[in-house]
Structures are given as C-alpha cells and as structure tokens.
Structure 1
Amino acid sequence: MKEVAKRIGKALEEGVRKYEFKPLELEVGTVQSINEDIVLISGISKAKYYEVVNFEDGSKGIVIDLDQNTVGAFLLEKRGKIKVGISVYRTGKVASIPVSEEVIGRMINPLGEPLDGKPPYKALKSYPVEREAPSLFKRDFVREQLYTGIKVIDTMFPIGKGQRELILGDPSTGKTSIAVDTILNQKDKNVICIYVAIGQRKQSILDVYSIFEKHGALSYSVIVAASSEDTPGLQFLAPYSATAIAEYFLDRGKDVLIVYDDLTKHAFAYQSLSLLLKRPPGREAFPGDIFYIHSRLLERACKIKNGGSITALPIVETQAGRIEAYIPTNLISITDGQIYLDINLFNANQRPAVDVGKSVSRIGGKTQIPALKEVVEFLRLYYAQFLELEIFTKLGVKVFGEGEKILERGKRLRELLKQPRFKHYQVEEQVVIFFLLNEGFFDGVNEKEVNKVADAIIEKIKEREPLILNEIKKTKVLTENLKRKIRNFVEVYYENYNKAD
C-alpha cells in the first residue's frame, strides 16, 4: 500500500511540475463617450481589430477603430444600460460565428443566433468573420458553369463557379428575383446556397424564407439576416459572417453560392459607423476605405485547387439608372462582370429586364459546355443587330432581305428571353431551344406564341425522345446525329401541330 501511495505521490509531483502558473492578465478599459451605436473606450490599447469586447452591463461590441488613446467599438444590439464610466473587458477573441453542417436550413443573425424560432444549432467550430482571402497559389481557374436556369443569363452572361457577378439596377426591377431564382435552380446540384439580407425589411426577409420553404430550397440553403431594425454594426457584420459560413463549406471541398442583398445598404451602414467615429468623408459622403472594405470581402469568393468554390452574386441598387454612382462603379471594377436590369425594359414587360448592352460576364464564357457555346456563340451580337435595326424601323425605314430576316428572328429571340419567375430551364433544354431558333424553326411561329411552342416541344421531347436531352447532358456536345434527331422530331411535331389546327 505504501509503495502504491508513494508512486501516486511521485506521479502527482511530476504532473504539477509540468504546469507553469502565471497571473491572469485581464485588460480592463473604461467607456469615455457614447455616440449612438459607437462607443469610445480608453485603457485597452492592446485591443485588436475585430476583437469582441464585453461591457459591464452584459452588452457586447466589436472593435472597429484603433486610435492612439482610445478604441472605437460598435454595439451588437440596441443600446442598453451602457453609460460613460462603466468598465469594458477585452476577450482576446476576434469576432467569429459558430459553424457546422447543422446551419443548413436555418435563418440566423450575423452572430449565429437563430431567427426561425428553432433551437440553436450544434456548432463544431467557430470561423472568424474576417480573414485573408486565399492566396493566388491556392486558386484555380474558373472552369465549370453555375446554371441560373434563366435563359438570358446562362446563354449570354454565363456565371462560372468561383466567379463574382454583380446584379445591379433601380429599385423594383427584379434583382432579388434573379438571385432567388438562381438559388432555387441549385436543387439537386450539390451547391450550398447562402442568402444574406442586409438592411432589408423584416417582411421581405420572411418572404424569401417562405419561398425557400415552399420550393424545398431550405434543404441546401442558409439565410443570414440583419434587418433594417438591427444596429448598423450588425448590418455591417452580416456579409462577413455569411462569408465565414461559406468558407467552412469551401474548406470541405463544396461549391457554395452566396448572394449579398444588398451591398448598397451595407455601404450605408459602414458610412453611418464611420461618420459616428468622426472619420473624414469622401466622395458622396462615403468613407475613403469603402472600396477596400468591399474588395476585401469579394476577394474571398474563389475557386480552390482540388477543392470547392465560392460564387458571389452581390446586389447593388442604383437610382434613376445612374450606374456611374460611387458604389456601383466601385463594385463593377471589383467584380468579374455585371447583370444590369433596366427599369424601362421592366415596365415594357421584358422580364427578366436584363439590358444586353450594359451587361457582361468577363470570364463566364469559358465555362460553357461545347453544345451551349455552339448555339449561342453569336447570340448577343445578333440581338444587338436586331435592336439597332428595330430603331430604324421605328423611324419609318423599311428593311428587306437579310435585314428583314434579322428583324423577324430578333423579335422571336426577344420573346424567348422572357421568362416568368420560378420557371427554370436546364442547360440541355436551352441547347435545344436556341438550336431550333438558329435553324429557323420558329420563323413561322407568331412571335407572341414562341415561348408556348418552345415549351411544348421540350415537353414532347421529354415524353417521347428523352434520350436526346440525356445525351446532351451526358456528352455536353451537340453532334450531327443529335442535330438530325432534333430536326426530324420537330418536323413531325409541326406536321401534327398543323393538322390539329
């Protein structure tokens, strides 16, 4: 017994020696001033950027300004009992959000707290809301297309996985509709979707949640929401928290689509914080580093070598079509292309109201499959020629021959580019539709009936010759044999269609 006790005592003594005891350093500051949601603190000079600080009354804040004598922090909730003179405690922890697979299907705030009335999700780890974008050597080329299911975008302005494509336009032109439809089209495509609502009305956020629930999109989506009722600090934090969640899935080799709705309101939130911190305003009263704030955020969207991708769809609101305003021009220069929605096209019932002349995808064209690229290669140029000719005809000029052919086919192309919400076209269906347009099969169809006839042909092919669509999907090539099969099928369809009439 004595021997056992002796051995235990020796083991305990050795164990204690391994530990080094030091006094706990706790840096405590004092609130010097309060200005709306910004608190200036003295006495915590070693605080880090984006560090979480705890106030004596239980409130939390995040450091956003480091001065020589004071530290500025924004509050994460509405101002409570915070007053000048109370203590502030450093945590030493940079702001982070809890992440795990269980976050899928949830609506949360930028702190990871549930907003859907369900219990908190179980987190495996925490990801910092702000971190360096992947280096150049870790990135890969954007090679694979992310399909929106929207014909005008997938054909003329394709988006690649890992690309950043800006959606901009005046209020109520369908910006959110395009983003939401793109998310709905990712069903069964192994893409995790994150929708970030920044400064939106609570009802608008609930409408998006209801759409996701109705169409089964919650099974692969996350909603991160900071409404207009939340503090500017929480609105500012929202896109960073959402991107941290996206990076969690990126690190696990998954493809992620993230929608920032919208970065105009995010810029206004940062503007409010900066003015409260008495930073000098720049162009349009925005702080001088607003470009850096947005570029650093969007640089985190990428395609990783032998891994996943983050595709970003930032949304920006313009006023009276002024795309030359400060925030829109900033984001146009940061992103890899833009989809511009025109209010006049929207009012003329051309929906989606994509302005073909002002929209572009700088790298997406390389991601299109050969079959789609073949049938839409000159589509944008053809459409531009049609619009130019149409202007002349409105002035009373008559066109003949090739010009008349371009005009008539252009009218049918414009109709084909119209598309109702929640109706998605898979890539193989788009290949068939635009092949038939190029072949002239819609030339004899009334322009107002083109979409109806195209949809009917696709449905008949699905019903009677599904191998046509399956082969395009599998091989990604439109062979001569497939072209012949499509021509023969449509010719028979038209014969039966005319007999029925």
Structure 2
Amino acid sequence: MIDLSHHLDVVASAPLVRAEGKVDKVVGLLVEVSGLKAALGRELEVEADGRRLTLEVIGFRDGKLLAAPLGPTAGIAPGTRVRLRTSEASAEVGEALLGRVIDAFGHPLDARPAPRVGGRAPLYNQPPQPFARRPIDTPLGTGVRAIDSTLAFGEGQRIGLFAGTGVGKSTLLGMLCRQADAEVIVAALIGERGREVGDFVRHAIGPEKMHRCVVVAATSDAPPLVRVRGALRATAIAEHFRAQGKKVLLVMDSVTRFAMALREASLAAGEPPLTKGYTPTVFASIPLLLERAGRDAGAGSITAVYTVLVEGDDMNDPIADTVRGILDGHIVLTRRLADKNHHPAIDVLKSVSRVARDVSTKEHTQAASRLREMLAAYEEAADLMQIGAYVPGSNKHVDAYKAQEDVIQAFLRQTPDEATPQSETIARLCAIAEKSKR
C-alpha cells in the first residue's frame, strides 16, 4: 500500500495561490481592474491606506472587470493589487440577530457586540419555483381596521405601499411592525436618512416589540451597491427564518431607493438608460428581489410590504408601475386624505388585495364589497352635495353612507397606538354593512 500521508501534509501546508489583478483606473463610482477573471456578482478585495475595501463585479469592458466599491475609494491608486475573494456573497443568519440593528455588511449599528450567528445564506438567492409555493389561504391580521376590513392580508402575500412624502407611510409601517400577527419582523431601511433609522427603531417599532425584530439599515450616504446589499441581506435573513418554519413579516422602505441605487451603479458601468434614466438591470432586478418573498414548500412564510415612493403622487412612475404589476396587492396613501387629518390615509377605493377573497369568509367579502359601494357612490356624489344639488333618495348607497357617515369615518380612522383584533374589525364591518340594508 502506498503511504500518501506525507504528500497530503505537504499539500495541506502549501501556501494558497490567490488570483490577483490590479487597478487600472477609478472613474466616479467605478473601478476598472485588469489581469483578473471573475463572474458577475463576485467580490474583490483591495487594500487602500491600510484598510480593506470590498468591490463587486458589475460588468466587463475590453477584457477588464468593472467593479463597484462597497465603501469610500480614497487611497486607491493605479496599480493597486486586487484579489478575488474565494467565497461567494452571503449573509450571516441566526436567532442572535433578533433584537439587533445591523448594516448592509452585518456589522452592528446599535453599539452592542457583534451577534454570534451560526449560519450563512446566499445574498443572491433564487425565488421559490412556482409549483413549490403553497397557496395563500390563511389570513394575517394587521391590527389596522382599514386593511383587515377591505384589504385583507394573507400569509405569504406581497403588498406595495404607494405613497408620496409626508402622508404617514412610516407611521403605518410602524403600526404593521408592532401589531401584525407575525413571529419575526425583518425591517430593511434602504436609502433613508441616518436620523430616521434611530427614530424608526425607537418609535415605530418600540422597545417592547424589538425582541422579535431584525433591522437592516443602509443609509442614503452609503455607496449605491451597499444600499442594494442592504435589501438583499434583509431578504436573505427573512428567507432563513422562513426556512425555520416562522411566520415572517418583511418590510422594506423603500424599493424605490433600491431601484435608484441600481440605476446609479448600472449607469456608471455604461448601461444605456431607458425610462427616467432607469436601466434594463433595474427592471430585471426588481422581480428577482420581490419574488423571493411569499410562501415556499415548507411551513414558513414571508409576508412582505414594500414601500414605493411616488413623486408628485404619480402612480404611473416607471418603478411604481413595475412593482404594482409584480405584487399581490397595493395600498395607496393619498395626500387628499392626509390633508383632512384622516389617518392612516388609505384610499380604500384605489387600493386592492388580490388574495382578499381567498383568505376571507363569504360574509366578510360581502360586507367589504358593501362598504366599497357606499364609499364609491358617496365620492361620485360629493360635488353635488357641496353645492346642495343632491336629492335624498336618488341613490340608495349615498343615503346609506350618509346615515352612518360618522360611524364609517371613525371605523376607517385609527391612531398609531390603537390596535384592533381582526375578529373585532370584521364584526364591526359586518354591522355597518347590515345596517346599510335597512
């Protein structure tokens, strides 16, 4: 028998040969690297002023790698050595993340020691296969009456929250984080101001609910791909807890800034712009991110709420239009309602849940339809009422609304610290619908 132990020891003790290249030039948000081969999405490492900087390969040009930095590029010079990292991009996952606030790299932002996690999950994971997804047939209570009554959520649903600035988007997200019937909350704050991260943790979530939350923050001052990675890391963490059989609520504020970050990086790589400067990469990446949420073949689920910023309340914005076509429903917050101090400023008639019928009883569905009919009829007759031209009795739905206007308005309005059990919400809705028939 041949004894190979000595040869194996020699191989094991031999120094590893790492693939290396060099920096050719840095232009804006782009680092050109020559002498190295790597696939899209792979990580590179460069030393600048005694610190290590990570780059991500985002394209190729004339045989060179185009890489986007995941940090400040100060100190990088032509000829600086660049190494290929052996491991693929991944996120640390585990129970130790609960109650923590981390950045896009998993580093703690809450002035506490780094969480000791035992596992890793790929950042660029694939969505579940279509026939591997269990149907959405279980309701998810949110504690928000306007949602649980007319826009019922289901476990594993993906919802868009469409809003302009200053209409109560963050407040509603906080209500969902505190009140939703979920075991784990993963909040991704992408492109937000640094001050808003602390405010969201302290006020929107609150210390009493933080024990079941993981917050991933990539603020507006971070490089574009760091903001992108914040969204990917949060999704990977949510996928881990789903694989553990948990009911997960993933909230991302906002998918618009995720798209803007991708636009910055892809334009720097020379990709041609399309609508409003957004590149093909943006429109290809959004479905890959959003489709990762939902149910899979296991017992867990990811119910996801993605906020979409609509400039000037324009619902036909290219990102808003793309996201709306992918998700299982959308909630529209309007300035018209916010200006009337109607909070949450949910426009029930402009909002829809595509799974509401699948997770609601027949009685609940009929009552929700009745309320929508009354709201729609009253909105159409509002101009006539303002000038005193409406004749009572000419529209039964308008008359039914007027008879319960105060009750309906009190039902749809809600303070941020007020939570209503789903069963109570449905009972009150059915009572309104029943009274409207008289």
Conservation of the 8 A alpha-carbon contact between 1:61 and 1:75? yes
Q: Distance in 1 between matches of 2:77 and 2:315?
A: 43
Does residue 1:424 correspond to 2:419, yes or no? yes
> Which residue in 1 is equivalent to 2:142?
148
Q: Tell me how far 1:400 sits from its aligned partner.
A: 2.4
Q: Which has the higher contact order (CA 8 A, sep 6+)?
A: 2
The answer to whether the Cα contact below 8 Å between 1:372 and 1:430 also exists between their aligned partners in 2 is no
1:399 paired with 2:391, answer yes
Q: Are 2:174 and 2:205, in contact at CA under 8 Å, matched by a contact in 1?
A: no
Q: Distance in 2 between matches of 1:397 and 1:213?
A: 47
Residue among 196, 202, 211 paired with 1:210: 202
Match of 1:252 among 233, 241, 244: 244
Q: Which runs of 5+ in 1 are unaligned?
A: 1-9, 444-501
Contact 2:370–2:433 at 8 Å: present in 1 too?
no
Q: Deviations over 1:83-136 (max 9, x none)?
A: 121110001322111111100100000111100000001121211111111112
Structural RMSD (CA): 2.3
Instruction: Name the aligned partner's letter for residue 297 of structure 2.
Output: K
- TM-score for the superposition, normalised by structure 2: 0.92
Any idea what SS the aligned residue of 1:357 has? helix
Distance in 2 between the 1:30 and 1:348 partners?
60
Which residue number corresponds to residue 242 of structure 1? 234
Aligned match of 2:351 in 352, 356, 359?
359
Per-residue CA deviations over 1:399-421 (Å, capped at 9, x if unaligned) read 32434333222453133201111
- Cα distance change on mapping 1:112 and 1:371 into 2, 3 Å: farther
In structure 1, distance between residues paired with 2:34 and 2:290: 33
Amino acid across the alignment from 1:54: E
One-letter code aligned to 1:50: G
CA 1:434–1:203 in structure 2 vs 1: closer, same or farther (change >3 Å)?
A: same
- Residues of 1 paired with 2:369 and 2:381: CA distance? 20
Structure 2, unmatched stretches of 5+, are: none
Structure 1 residue identity aligned to 2:254: D
Q: Is contact 1:59–1:80 with CA below 8 Å preserved after alignment?
A: no
* AA matched with 1:191: E
Q: Deviations over 1:322-349 (max 9, x none)?
A: 1111111111111111111111111011
Question: Which amino acid in 2 is paired with 1:53?
Answer: L
Q: Is the 8 A contact 1:48 1:94 kept in 2?
A: no
Aligned CA distance change for structure 1 residues 302 and 139 (closer, same or farther; 3 Å): same
Match of 2:115 among 116, 121, 125: 121
**1:126 partner SS:** strand
Q: 1:140 to 1:209 in 2, by over 3 A?
A: same
Moved more, 56-65 or 150-159: 56-65
Q: Secondary structure at the match of 1:396?
A: coil
Deviations 1:139-159 (A, max 9, x none): 110111222211111111112
Q: Percent identity?
A: 26
2:68 aligned residue: 74
User: How has the CA–CA distance of structure 1 residues 247 and 271 changed in structure 2, closer, same or farther, with 3 Å as cutoff?
Assistant: same
Relative to structure 2, which stretch is displaced further, 377-386 or 340-349? Answer: 377-386
- 1:369 Cα deviation after fit: 4.7
Q: Aligned pair count?
A: 430
Contact 1:168 1:341 in 2 (8 A): yes
**Aligned equivalent of 1:310:** 302
Distance 1:422 1:285 in 2: 40
Match of 1:452 in 2: none
Q: Give the 3 Å change call, closer, same or farther, for CA 122–107 of structure 1 in structure 2.
A: same
Does 2:267 correspond to 1:275?
yes
> 1:463 matched to which residue of 2?
none
Where 1:392 maps in the other structure, the secondary structure is helix
Q: What whole-Å deviation, never above 9, does each CA across 1:154-200 have from its counterpart, x for those lacking one?
A: 111112111111001110111122122111003xx452111111111
Q: Which one of the candidate residues 94, 97, 100 is aligned to 2:91?
A: 97
Query: 1:69 deviation in Å?
Result: 0.7
Name 2:125's counterpart in structure 1. Answer: 131
| Counterpart Cα distance in 1 of 2:378 and 2:94 | 51
After superposition, give the CA deviation of every residue in 1:24-65 in whole Å (9 maximum; x if it has no partner): 4421111111123321111222x1222111113321112222
Query: Match for 1:434: what amino acid?
Result: L
Partner of 2:360: 368
Structure 2: which amino acid aligns with 1:429?
E
Partner of 1:159: 153
- Structure 1 residues 118 and 371, CA gap change in structure 2 (3 angstroms): farther
SS at match of 1:313: strand
Counterpart check, 1:414 vs 2:409: yes
Residues 369-422 of structure 1: CA distance to partner in whole angstroms, max 9, x if unpaired? 566445434222222122223332223223324343332224531332011112
**Which is worse superposed, 241-250 or 156-165?**
156-165
1:59-79 per-position Cα deviation (integer Å, ceiling 9, x unaligned): 111222234511122212222
CA distance in 2, matches of 1:221, 1:381: 38
The 2-side partners of 1:191 and 1:364 are apart by 21
Selected match of 2:164 from 149, 165, 170: 170
Q: What SS does structure 2 have at the residue aligned with 1:92?
A: coil
Is 113-122 or 27-36 further displaced after alignment?
27-36
1:215 Cα deviation from its structure 2 partner: 4.8
